[in-house]
């Protein structure tokens, strides 16, 4: 993980701990990497409440409540599904802020296309679309960590 991403994660978690806030994640293309990043830092990891790894459409539906017809209509990699994933993770956890990520890490309609959602009760769910390009699976996942940490920081 790039040093700047780890430093930003430490700052995010420290701020969340200071405010008694917890995070949840809903991940598809990152396969739990964000949850791992949020639990890797000793002394501040208690700001992480839970993570959902929902790689399949069925998992998005069963674990997060994302309607299958929404996934069929808009595609699993879409603004609408990213928002529904974040809101589902918030509703199905004790977290105060939930971040979702769904995309094409290295194959699919557009390699490197990733949608993010960030939900917090009482606020409009944020969305961000990134086009990382054909940089490869690992590089796309690492790039997703930077964006996710930025979005969660903004939602604090």
pLDDT of residue 126: 98
Q: Per residue in 14-67, pLDDT tens? A: 999 999 999 999 999 999 999 999 999 888 889 999 999 999 999 999 999 999
| Mean pLDDT of the region 68-78 | 97
pLDDT of residue 153: 98
Band of the pLDDT at 107, cuts 50, 70, 90? confident
Strands 23-27 and 48-53: parallel
Mapped onto helix, strand or coil, the DSSP state of residue 7 is helix
Measure the CA–CA gap between 99 and 152, rounded to whole angstroms.
Answer: 7
Measure the CA–CA gap between 6 and 145, rounded to whole angstroms.
Answer: 9
Q: What percent of the chain has pLDDT over 90?
A: 92
Domain 3-155 has CATH 3.90.950.20: yes
Measure the CA–CA gap between 44 and 65, rounded to whole angstroms.
Answer: 29
> Going by C-beta distance under 8 Å and a sequence separation of 6 or more, which residues neighbour residue 102?
28, 29, 60, 76, 77, 78, 81, 82, 85, 114, 115
């Amino acid at each position: 993980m790039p040093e700047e991403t780890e430093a930003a994660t430490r700052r995010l978690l420290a701020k969340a701990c200071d405010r008694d806030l917890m995070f949840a994640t809903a991940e598809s293309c990152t396969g739990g990497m964000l949850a791992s990043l949020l639990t890797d830092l000793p002394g501040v990891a208690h700001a992480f409440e839970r993570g959902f790894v929902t790689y399949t459409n069925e998992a998005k539906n069963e674990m997060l409540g994302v309607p299958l017809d929404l996934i069929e209509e808009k595609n699993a990699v879409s603004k609408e599904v990213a928002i529904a994933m974040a809101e589902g993770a918030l509703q199905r956890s004790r977290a105060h802020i939930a971040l979702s990520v769904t995309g094409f890490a290295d194959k699919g309609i557009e390699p490197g296309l990733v949608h993010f959602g960030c939900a917090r009760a009482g606020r409009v769910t944020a969305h961000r679309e990134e086009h990382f390009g054909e940089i490869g699976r690992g590089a796309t996942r690492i790039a997703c960590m930077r964006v996710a940490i930025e979005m969660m920081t903004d939602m604090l």
